Structure 1
Amino acid sequence: MTERRSVALLVAAVGGLVLGATFAGWIPRLLAPLGVTGLVLSVQGRTARESMAAGWCFGLTFMASTVSWMWPSLGVGAWLGLTAVESAWFAGLGLLTAVVGRLPGWPWWTATAWTAVEVLRTSWPWGGVPWGRLAFATPDTPWQAMLPWVGTTGTTFLLALVGSALAGVVLRARSRPAPYVLVVAAALLAAVMAGVVGPLGTTGSGSVRVAVVQGGVPGSGKLVVDHHREITADHAAETRRLVSGADWAAGPAAFVLWPENATAVDPTEDAVAEAEVESAVAAAGVPVVVGGVTDGPTSTTARNQLIAWSATGPGPRYTKQHLVPFGEYVPLRGLATRVSQRVTDIGRDMVPGPPAAPLPVAGLRLATALCFDVAYDDVVAGQVRQGADLVTVSTSNAMFLGTAQLEQQWTISRVRALETGRTVVVASINGISGAISADGTVQVVLPERDTESAIVDAEVRDGLTLAVRLGSWPGRAVIALAAAGLAVAVAGQALKSRKRPPTVNAIMATSSGS
């Protein structure tokens, strides 16, 4: 029995590592469903405690590899802390997977359980962690075709269903694997057909030229605050260089997009930063969307904002909604400083903005996002529902240079392009900057760490994909279905056991024969 438990834990750990490796870029993303397969196999016939242990092992290897970029950028303490917190979610998922695994049509219930836990962990604690969502592993795979139809939540469900059905094939290899093979085949066929048909609901209505400026960070490329004056000056200088070139002369851009932290002081209050921004706006003759840290409502708070700056001065703003705990604000500050000394550098806690409306710039309506904002479903899609023409993402990412974080966030931007049917233009202070078409195709990528700029022809699209229309309802539905599946499984076991109302442990003990 001890040997079987050890094998189960090993299978779970390998499954988590396989899934994490797809996000870390170590193996192809197409293999992501195999990670789910590993978790499902590891909890078969296990008790409640064993199932939770397997889920916990899965979560450890999955999150540790997925966010391995935290170690060199934020410190080993932050990396281990996040991995431990997120692994608790997967411990619960292991138990839930084992319980619903006894229901008829269990691969469907397992996919529902996985998706429900994913939705919940993107919301709590401290705003949740959306990193590592299955749907974020779909670009350049057949599964990406589902994004404009069912969004990130529905696409996660599809991949979890495929992984669960593959586990069914393994478990029924000598008896009746056919139903599970058919589930995998049907899911793949649905993805292929979605790609053939294409997303319905959006149409092109022309294009607009957008200038992207990546000013770079002096020195190591990571010390934004230490070089903030030079960074602002470099962005202004690169803007002036761009508008004096042949590309601009061939057709000026409608606006210029600067990255997050292009100015680390409030340009509406700081004379030096204001002068640099004004010089860029005057040279371009069009608005510049400036990413800056502005003063908050108190002396101990700040805001992370985008400001549409025109010839008449600062105009409409977008304030980042989903702030990064221990990065932009510090919960449990006393304890956090013991885990990682880096949080002591965060002198002011940022405050989040309200639900956003599209940012009006140069006659356009922009769905805007700042850095990790793009990983949350409500930010971009909510603005597209309000009529946004295209999407812009301004980010810094300077502290993550040389890690997988840059590519992961760029991939999430590609997911948003597919999901919303909108062009996504990205400006990063050090990279990855560029533009992504509405079908997820990369149009332009600027070299990392260099001071660069480009003018891109961004298609403007009208209408809404089905995914955008559905909004948050798929997430609510899977949570309700997962709860119903758990209730049905518990009630079913109660009917079989007439002696006493079973606890979850008793249910699991019965299923494992212990």
Structure 2
Amino acid sequence: MDRLRAFGRLLPRLVVAIGAGALLGLAFEPHDYPWLAVVAVPLFLATLDGVSVKAGILIGAGFGITYYSVLVPWLSVIGGDAAIALAILEGLFYAVFGAFASQALRHRLWMLWIPCLWVATEYATASVPFGGFPWGRLAWAFADSPVGKLASLVGIPGLSFAIALLGVLAYAVLRRRSKLGLRVVALVAGVAIVGGSALISLDTAGNGKTVTAAMVQGNVPGKGLEFLGRARTVTRNHLAATLELQERVKAGSQVKPDIVIWPENSTDIDPFRDPETKADIEQAVKAVGVPILVGAVLEGPGDNERQTTGVVWDPVTGPGQVYAKRHPVPFGEYIPFREQLLPYIKRLEMVGRQTAPGKVPGVLPINGVTYGDVICFEVAYDDVVSDVMKGGAQILVVQTNNATYGGTGQPEQQFAITRMRAIETGRTVLIASTSGISGVVRPDGTVEHKSGQFVPDVYVASVPARDAHTLATRLGGWPQWILTGLGIMGAVVALVSRRRRTDPDPGTPPAATPSREKIPA
């Protein structure tokens, strides 16, 4: 009976936390209400203030599971159970956050510990399991906001910290026990962060060299999973679109490109082993007379393995440099614990051969310009983008295939992530997709071109090659490591303080003190 009463007292907080999670999910594309993040964070903190560790776990889980349910419903294209499983898995990270934050809120340095804990939580979600899933970072929602410019200085983790801090400052203003002085400081600090961000000027000037690039979106013969069985048609769609481009060049209505970019999976048939596919690619390359970066699935390196690659195909020397995707998608491109799971989950047979990860960054020098190639979901991974920048990338390329998720909101989310990468790195990003969204994003995150979905699209752009580095790329991973370290320190300090604490916090309602509030085991 005591447990039931404790749960009854906790239930209103849980309902509010679930609502806060839903609000945070709506901050992102395709809904695109970024400032809801600054509303959701203080609401979430209010539900954690004054509760026990166990209650914090339950409240955090409710928040996190709801957040990811709203953020990634597109995974239900694979299966509703897959979407539910991912939401639960990622939501459990916020259950851990809730446990620590509920205690950190009692500490006098809570305004530092909480946003650092948030960054540590995002770092964990981006790292484990199976290489992590960095899709739910606060930073991704702010490509159109002045606050997003902070990514050029402190990177994506630093921007997430700043957004979480804005939520903390909002809570400090609204928190019942906050003194007037703290409220004034918090309000001024919040205005300074937003106003200061608006004053940041993002440099877009190149090093004097420009590149004319053509992004080819050939489209696919169907939506969802069925297109996977029509690989040869997809390749020929891209061939046809490239030949049409060349006709416009011959007619003088289109400037000749220096490079043509085909998307990920523009051929799912290995052109090194299939003469017909190789002939299609060579026809396209010889027609335009410039290198084509081909998205090709290659067989090997091991038995029953494949690799998703970008292959530089030259009109004179033929195929050359190859970049193999380093972060294949678990359960999409390979199956963890394959031998154990396949007998029980027959649907996984659709994945086919295991995708073997590449070993080296996608640094591709082509005709005097260095391109940094990342493939599809890799754009969300800090290490992939950081490594091509360290390798001297002057222009970023994202080869992607979102046909499975067309019309679900996933392509819009990935495009928003790509825009934030442009701001962070100060590089133009060229995006080529099989079915959309393809486009060009300038170094300041503004969009020069954005294609529709499930339509052919060929866009030619003259873009600057850039050598200058943003402060974020010079700092590399340090902001994330420092903020994560502080978050862990805050968790330890909060737990140690909890052990020493004998009395409830001043102003904490008796029903919310750790000694009174319990939840069912």
How many Å separate the matches in 2 of 1:283 and 1:363?
A: 22
- Quickly say closer, same or farther: Cα 1:246–1:401, change in 2 above 3 A: same
How many Å separate the matches in 2 of 1:221 and 1:20?
A: 23
How many Å separate the matches in 1 of 2:238 and 2:255?
A: 21
Q: Is the contact made by 1:145 and 1:192 (CA closer than 8 Å) also made in structure 2? A: no
- Quickly say closer, same or farther: Cα 1:444–1:27, change in 2 above 3 A: closer
Q: Paired residue for 1:214, among 210, 213, 217?
A: 217
Q: What letter is aligned with 2:298?
A: T
Q: Is the contact made by 1:200 and 1:466 (CA closer than 8 Å) also made in structure 2? A: no
SS of corresponding position for 1:29? coil
Deviations 1:269-294 (A, max 9, x none): 11111001000100010000000110
User: Is the counterpart of residue 94 in structure 1 residue 95 in structure 2?
Assistant: no
- Quickly say closer, same or farther: Cα 1:204–1:123, change in 2 above 3 A: same
Deviations 1:282-332 (A, max 9, x none): 001000000011012222111010000002111111111111110000113
Q: What letter is aligned with 2:473?
A: V
* Equivalent residue, structure 1, for 2:318: 313
User: Is the counterpart of residue 234 in structure 1 residue 244 in structure 2?
Assistant: no
Deviations 1:378-410 (A, max 9, x none): 112221122111100000000001111010000
Q: Is the contact made by 1:201 and 1:464 (CA closer than 8 Å) also made in structure 2? A: no
The alpha-carbon deviation at position 354 of structure 1 amounts to: 1.5
The alpha-carbon deviation at position 220 of structure 1 amounts to: 3.4
Q: What letter is aligned with 1:231?
A: V
Deviations 1:429-456 (A, max 9, x none): 0000010000110001222211121101
Q: Is the contact made by 1:366 and 1:392 (CA closer than 8 Å) also made in structure 2? A: yes
The alpha-carbon deviation at position 333 of structure 1 amounts to: 3.2
User: Is the counterpart of residue 383 in structure 1 residue 373 in structure 2?
Assistant: no
Q: Is the contact made by 1:329 and 1:348 (CA closer than 8 Å) also made in structure 2? A: yes
How many Å separate the matches in 2 of 1:51 and 1:114?
A: 14
Q: What letter is aligned with 1:41?
A: A
How many Å separate the matches in 2 of 1:91 and 1:164?
A: 18
Query: Which is bigger in relative contact order (C-alpha 8 A, separation at least 6)?
Result: 2
Q: Paired residue for 2:436, among 431, 450, 475?
A: 431
* Equivalent residue, structure 2, for 1:299: 303
How many Å separate the matches in 2 of 1:14 and 1:339?
A: 36
* Equivalent residue, structure 2, for 1:182: 185
* Equivalent residue, structure 2, for 1:192: 195
User: Is the counterpart of residue 421 in structure 1 residue 426 in structure 2?
Assistant: yes
The alpha-carbon deviation at position 199 of structure 1 amounts to: 4.1
How many Å separate the matches in 2 of 1:175 and 1:208?
A: 55
How many Å separate the matches in 1 of 2:444 and 2:43?
A: 31
Q: Paired residue for 1:85, among 79, 84, 89?
A: 89
The alpha-carbon deviation at position 13 of structure 1 amounts to: 0.3
Deviations 1:47-99 (A, max 9, x none): 1111100000001110011001111x211011011111111111101011112
- Quickly say closer, same or farther: Cα 1:433–1:186, change in 2 above 3 A: same
- Quickly say closer, same or farther: Cα 1:327–1:221, change in 2 above 3 A: closer
- Quickly say closer, same or farther: Cα 1:188–1:286, change in 2 above 3 A: farther
* Equivalent residue, structure 1, for 2:152: 148
- List aligned pairs for 1:15-414, cutoff 5 A: 15-26=20-31, 28-71=33-76, 73-172=77-176, 176=179, 178-180=181-183, 182-199=185-202, 204-220=207-223, 222-246=225-249, 249=252, 250-311=254-315, 312-333=317-338, 336-337=341-342, 341-414=346-419
Q: Is the contact made by 1:265 and 1:273 (CA closer than 8 Å) also made in structure 2? A: yes
* Equivalent residue, structure 2, for 1:466: 471
How many Å separate the matches in 1 of 2:179 and 2:481?
A: 34
How many Å separate the matches in 1 of 2:191 and 2:322?
A: 42
* Equivalent residue, structure 1, for 2:497: 492
- Quickly say closer, same or farther: Cα 1:438–1:343, change in 2 above 3 A: same
Q: How many residues align?
A: 504
How many Å separate the matches in 2 of 1:216 and 1:201?
A: 31
Q: Is the contact made by 2:264 and 2:433 (CA closer than 8 Å) also made in structure 1? A: yes
Q: Is the contact made by 1:437 and 1:459 (CA closer than 8 Å) also made in structure 2? A: no
How many Å separate the matches in 1 of 2:344 and 2:201?
A: 48
Q: Unpaired segments of 5 or more residues in structure 2?
A: 1-5, 504-511
TM-score (norm 2): 0.91
- Quickly say closer, same or farther: Cα 1:384–1:299, change in 2 above 3 A: same
How many Å separate the matches in 2 of 1:248 and 1:479?
A: 57
Q: What letter is aligned with 1:132?
A: G
TM-score (norm 1): 0.93
Deviations 1:151-184 (A, max 9, x none): 1000000111111222222223x75255245335
SS of corresponding position for 1:382? helix
How many Å separate the matches in 1 of 2:204 and 2:456?
A: 38
Q: Unpaired segments of 5 or more residues in structure 1?
A: 499-506
How many Å separate the matches in 1 of 2:266 and 2:188?
A: 48
Q: Is the contact made by 2:206 and 2:464 (CA closer than 8 Å) also made in structure 1? A: no
- Quickly say closer, same or farther: Cα 1:371–1:11, change in 2 above 3 A: same
- Quickly say closer, same or farther: Cα 1:247–1:32, change in 2 above 3 A: farther
Q: RMSD in angstroms over aligned alpha carbons?
A: 2.4
Q: What letter is aligned with 2:231?
A: H
